[in-house]
Amino acid sequence: MVRHSKDRLFITATEWSEQYGGKKNIKSTSYRPLPFDHCGLTLVPFITPVCLHEGVIFELEALMEYILKYKKNPITGDPVTSKDIIRLNIDKNADGEWQCPVLNKALTNNTHVVAIKTTGNVYCYDAVNELNIKPKNYTDLITGESFKKSDIITLQDPRDPEHMKLRDVNNFIHLNEVRDEHQNNKSIESKIKLNSTGENIMKELEKSNDIITSKKRKLDEIITKLHEDSSYIDDVKDILDLKPLIEDVNPGQKNTDGRASSSFTSSVITSYTSNASRLATADDIRDALYKKMRQLGKKGYVQIQTNIGNLNIEIHCDIAPKTSYNFISLCNNNYYQSTIFHRLIKGFMLQGGDPTGTGTGGESVWKGKFKDEFDTRILHSDRGVVSMANSGCNTNGSQFFITLKDTKHLDLVHSVFGKVVGGSSTLDRVELIDTDKHDRPIKDIKIINTVVFTNPINEAKENLIEFIKINITTRVNNGRTSALPSKVK
C-alpha cells in the first residue's frame, strides 16, 4: 500500500513552530534595542555613564541638560530631578571594552548586566547572583559597602522581554516627542498647500517661518553651548580670559566648531561658508598645563602636620601631573586641615582626606571626580607610597592613602602620586595605634595643617601663559584675529 507523505506518524519542526506548537499566534516584532554601550539620549557610545531607576544608561552631560530643561525621565516620561541620577563605575579591559571587574567578562549586547545603586559599580548578573544573592551576602564586591536587594538595578537583560521593550528606541518618550513635532511640521506644510487664497497662504508661511526661526535660534544656542566649557574653571580662568584658540594652546592641533558642515546638511541651522578654529576649553588648557609640568621635570614637596608627628611627602608632578595638581591645590586651599585619618589597617595602609571622616565623602579641586592616572614608573612597591583612594574606576576625589608595606596588587588600580621622604618614625607610631572592628583608629590621627614647600605648578603655569601669549601674537600678526566663521549673507 502506498502511503501519502501527509500520512506520516510525526510532524516536522516547521509544522510544530507554525501550526501545532502554539507559536503560530506569535508575531515577529521588529524592535530596535539600544546597544548596551550607547546613551539613551544621544544614541552614541557613552563616555561618562549614568542611569536612572529604570536602568537605561545615559551620558552624564546629555542627561543633566535634558533633566534641567524638561524635569522628566527621557525614557518613561516620569518626573525626575538631578538627585535621581546614579553615577556608574564600569570597568574596562586592556582592549578598552567594558567588562565585569569580578569575572573579567566583556559586557556585550547579550550580557545580563546589573548595577549596585549605592556604589554605582557595574557587574555581570552571574557574579552578583553567585556571590551576593544566593549566599544572601549583600555587600559590594569591590568596596564591601552594604546594600539591599532592592538596590540591584538591571541595566540589560536580553532574556526579559519586558526589560528589552523598555530598551526599545521606538518606545523612548523623548524620541516619540521629536517624531510628533516632525509630524506637526508636516501638517503645517500640508495646510499651506491646501489653502487657496493668498492671504491664508501668507499666514501659514509666517507661522512656519516662526517655527523655523525658533528652531534655528535654539540649535545655534545648543551648538554654542556645546563648545563652551560649563565645568569648574576657576583654576584656569586667567588663561581662559585670554580667549586662546585650540591651536594657540596646542600648536599643530586644529579643531573646528563644525558649523559649516552641519549647516550645509541642515535646513534649520544658520548657514556658514567657512569653518573656524574653536576656542580652547578649560580641559584643553589643563591638558596643556599637565604637559608643561611633565616637561618641567620638577617634584613638589608637601608636609602633612598631624597630632602624631609630621610627614614630608615628595609629589610626582612630573609623572602624575593631574593627580599631583589636585592634591597640591587641596593642600593650598586648607582642604585637609582638621580632618582625620579614618582608616588604619596595620601592615597595609593608612587612609584619610575625607572631610566628613566617614570614608564616603570628599571631592576633587574641580568639584567632582576625576580619571585615574597610571604610570609604571611609580608603583605601590614600598612602604610610604602615597596614592589615591577610590570607589572604582575613575572615581578619584580628595581621599588618599599611605602604604605601610609594598602592595603590588594595587598597581594600575589606584593612582600613585607621591612618596613619604621624611617622617618614617611618625608612620611607625601611627601603626601602633589600636583600631576597632571597622579599622577605625581608637585614637584620632588628626591633620593639623598642610604646608606646600615646593610647588612647580606655578612655574609650569607661568610658562604656559607665556607660551600661549606668544602663539596668539604670532597668529594675530599673520592676520588671523577672529575665531568666528563666516555666515551666508
Question: Are 278 and 485 in contact, with CB atoms under 8 Å apart?
Answer: no
Catalytic one among 163, 343, 380, 383?
A: 343
Write out the three cell numbers for 474: 604670532
Q: Is 410 a catalytic residue?
A: yes
Catalytic one among 327, 414, 455, 464?
A: 414
Kindly write down the DSSP assignment for every residue of 315-340, as one continuous string: E-TTTSHHHHHHHHHHHHTTTTTT-B
Whose CA is closest to 58, among 178, 140, 167, 148? Answer: 167
Write out the three cell numbers for 138: 549583600
DSSP secondary structure code for residue 119 in this structure: T
Question: Are 379 and 284 in contact, with CB atoms under 8 Å apart?
Answer: no
In the beta sheet, which residues pair with residue 340? 446
Catalytic one among 156, 250, 351, 399?
A: 351
Kindly write down the DSSP assignment for every residue of 277-293, as one continuous string: BPBPPHHHHHHHHHHHH
Catalytic one among 410, 417, 427, 475?
A: 410
CA–CA dist 87, 89 (Å, integer):
7
Map residue 303 onto helix, strand or coil.
strand
Write out the three cell numbers for 417: 602620586
DSSP secondary structure code for residue 483 in this structure: -
Map residue 233 onto helix, strand or coil.
coil
Residue 138: what residue type? Y
Question: Are 47 and 41 in contact, with CB atoms under 8 Å apart?
Answer: no
Catalytic one among 73, 401, 427, 464?
A: 401
Q: What angle separates helix 173-194 from helix 198-226, to the nearest 10 degrees?
A: 150
Cβ-in-10-Å burial (0-12, 13-18, 19+) of 462 comes to exposed
Sheet architecture: strand order including 57-59: 57-59, 49-51, 86-87
Catalytic one among 87, 242, 348, 374?
A: 348
Q: What residues have CB less than 8 Å from 319, skipping those under 6 apart?
A: 294, 375, 377, 378
Please provide the distance, in angstroms rounded to a whole number, between the alpha carbons at the two ends of the chain. 90
Q: Is 401 a catalytic residue?
A: yes
DSSP secondary structure code for residue 156 in this structure: E
Write out the three cell numbers for 398: 580628595
Element (H, E) at 261: helix 259-264
Q: Is 179 a catalytic residue?
A: no
Element (H, E) at 142: none
Catalytic one among 390, 396, 399, 455?
A: 390
Annotated catalytic residues are 343, 348, 351, 390, 401, 410, 414
